[in-house]
Amino acid sequence: MIGLLSSDELVREPLVAEVTSDTCISCFACEEICPYGAVERVPYTDPETGAEAEVARVNPGVCEGCGACVAVCRPKAVDLMGFSDEQIYSEINVLSNIVNVKDEA
Ligand code: SF4
Ligand code: SF4
Protein backbone atom coordinates (compact mmCIF):
# COMPACT_ATOMS: atom_id res chain seq x y z
CA MET A 1 0.00 0.00 0.00
CA ILE A 2 2.92 2.34 0.71
CA GLY A 3 4.12 1.77 -2.82
CA LEU A 4 0.64 2.42 -4.13
CA LEU A 5 0.30 5.74 -2.30
CA SER A 6 3.80 6.99 -3.10
CA SER A 7 3.88 6.26 -6.83
CA ASP A 8 3.08 8.86 -9.48
CA GLU A 9 0.76 6.50 -11.31
CA LEU A 10 -1.89 4.11 -10.07
CA VAL A 11 -1.57 0.65 -11.55
CA ARG A 12 -4.68 -1.48 -11.12
CA GLU A 13 -3.92 -4.79 -9.43
CA PRO A 14 -6.03 -7.80 -10.35
CA LEU A 15 -7.78 -7.99 -6.98
CA VAL A 16 -10.56 -10.49 -6.57
CA ALA A 17 -12.68 -11.36 -3.57
CA GLU A 18 -12.56 -14.75 -1.91
CA VAL A 19 -15.07 -16.33 0.48
CA THR A 20 -14.04 -18.47 3.45
CA SER A 21 -16.70 -21.17 3.23
CA ASP A 22 -16.69 -22.24 6.87
CA THR A 23 -17.30 -18.65 8.02
CA CYS A 24 -20.07 -17.89 5.51
CA ILE A 25 -23.55 -17.82 7.08
CA SER A 26 -25.37 -18.03 3.72
CA CYS A 27 -27.10 -14.66 3.99
CA PHE A 28 -26.16 -13.82 0.35
CA ALA A 29 -25.94 -10.09 1.02
CA CYS A 30 -22.82 -10.27 -1.14
CA GLU A 31 -24.77 -11.74 -4.03
CA GLU A 32 -27.36 -8.99 -3.74
CA ILE A 33 -24.87 -6.13 -3.72
CA CYS A 34 -22.35 -7.38 -6.29
CA PRO A 35 -22.74 -5.13 -9.35
CA TYR A 36 -21.04 -7.66 -11.62
CA GLY A 37 -22.95 -10.84 -10.77
CA ALA A 38 -19.72 -12.46 -9.61
CA VAL A 39 -21.17 -14.25 -6.57
CA GLU A 40 -22.38 -17.80 -7.02
CA ARG A 41 -24.02 -20.26 -4.64
CA VAL A 42 -22.21 -23.54 -4.18
CA PRO A 43 -22.91 -26.61 -2.04
CA TYR A 44 -20.99 -26.93 1.21
CA THR A 45 -20.73 -29.76 3.71
CA ASP A 46 -19.70 -28.88 7.25
CA PRO A 47 -16.63 -31.04 7.96
CA GLU A 48 -17.54 -31.42 11.65
CA THR A 49 -21.30 -32.03 11.56
CA GLY A 50 -21.82 -33.22 8.00
CA ALA A 51 -24.61 -30.64 7.62
CA GLU A 52 -25.18 -29.51 4.06
CA ALA A 53 -25.81 -25.93 2.96
CA GLU A 54 -25.21 -23.47 0.17
CA VAL A 55 -22.49 -20.88 0.63
CA ALA A 56 -21.25 -18.00 -1.46
CA ARG A 57 -18.34 -18.33 -3.86
CA VAL A 58 -16.81 -15.57 -5.95
CA ASN A 59 -16.13 -16.32 -9.59
CA PRO A 60 -12.63 -14.86 -9.99
CA GLY A 61 -13.10 -14.47 -13.72
CA VAL A 62 -16.04 -12.09 -13.21
CA CYS A 63 -15.06 -10.28 -9.99
CA GLU A 64 -13.80 -6.72 -10.47
CA GLY A 65 -12.42 -6.37 -6.95
CA CYS A 66 -14.68 -3.46 -6.01
CA GLY A 67 -14.92 -4.61 -2.37
CA ALA A 68 -18.68 -4.10 -1.98
CA CYS A 69 -19.16 -7.69 -0.81
CA VAL A 70 -16.42 -7.28 1.80
CA ALA A 71 -18.25 -4.27 3.23
CA VAL A 72 -21.63 -6.00 3.59
CA CYS A 73 -20.46 -9.37 4.89
CA ARG A 74 -21.33 -9.34 8.59
CA PRO A 75 -19.22 -12.36 9.65
CA LYS A 76 -16.28 -11.05 7.58
CA ALA A 77 -16.20 -14.17 5.46
CA VAL A 78 -14.99 -12.28 2.37
CA ASP A 79 -11.53 -10.84 1.80
CA LEU A 80 -9.98 -9.19 -1.18
CA MET A 81 -7.19 -11.64 -1.97
CA GLY A 82 -3.93 -10.32 -0.62
CA PHE A 83 -5.65 -7.70 1.51
CA SER A 84 -7.41 -9.12 4.56
CA ASP A 85 -8.85 -6.60 7.03
CA GLU A 86 -5.89 -7.27 9.32
CA GLN A 87 -3.40 -6.61 6.53
CA ILE A 88 -5.12 -3.35 5.57
CA TYR A 89 -5.18 -2.17 9.22
CA SER A 90 -1.51 -3.16 9.54
CA GLU A 91 -0.57 -1.10 6.49
CA ILE A 92 -2.54 1.88 7.85
CA ASN A 93 -0.67 1.60 11.17
CA VAL A 94 2.69 1.58 9.37
CA LEU A 95 1.70 4.67 7.38
CA SER A 96 0.48 6.40 10.55
CA ASN A 97 3.81 5.72 12.29
CA ILE A 98 5.76 7.13 9.32
CA VAL A 99 3.67 10.32 9.40
CA ASN A 100 4.21 10.65 13.17
CA VAL A 101 8.00 10.24 12.81
CA LYS A 102 8.08 12.93 10.09
CA ASP A 103 5.98 15.27 12.24
CA GLU A 104 8.41 14.85 15.15
CA ALA A 105 11.51 15.49 13.00
S1 SF4 B 1 -22.31 -11.82 2.73
FE2 SF4 B 1 -20.73 -13.11 3.73
S3 SF4 B 1 -21.88 -14.51 5.03
FE4 SF4 B 1 -23.36 -13.64 3.56
S5 SF4 B 1 -23.37 -15.14 1.86
FE6 SF4 B 1 -21.85 -13.55 1.35
S7 SF4 B 1 -19.89 -14.41 2.11
FE8 SF4 B 1 -21.53 -15.57 3.08
S1 SF4 C 1 -15.34 -7.54 -4.97
FE2 SF4 C 1 -17.04 -6.48 -6.06
S3 SF4 C 1 -17.11 -7.50 -8.07
FE4 SF4 C 1 -15.95 -8.87 -6.69
S5 SF4 C 1 -17.50 -10.26 -5.85
FE6 SF4 C 1 -17.27 -8.57 -4.40
S7 SF4 C 1 -18.90 -7.10 -4.97
FE8 SF4 C 1 -18.61 -8.52 -6.72
Q: How far is residue 11's CA from residue 8's CA, in Å, rounded to a whole number?
A: 10
pLDDT of residue 86: 65
Query: Which residues span the domain enclosing 47?
Result: 2-104
| Residue bearing the CA closest to ligand 1, atom 2 | 73
In the predicted model, residues of the chain with pLDDT beneath 70 are 1-13, 82-93, 95, 98-102, 105
Measured from the alpha carbon of residue 19, the closest ligand is 1
Pocket test for ligand 1, best of 19, 32, 39, 70 (most atoms within 8 A of CB): 19
pLDDT of residue 81: 84
CATH number assigned to the domain comprising residue 88: 3.30.70.20
Torsion sign over Cα 99, 80, 74, 71: positive
- Measured from the Cα of 23, ligand 1's closest atom is 3
- Structurally, the chain folds into a number of domains equal to 1
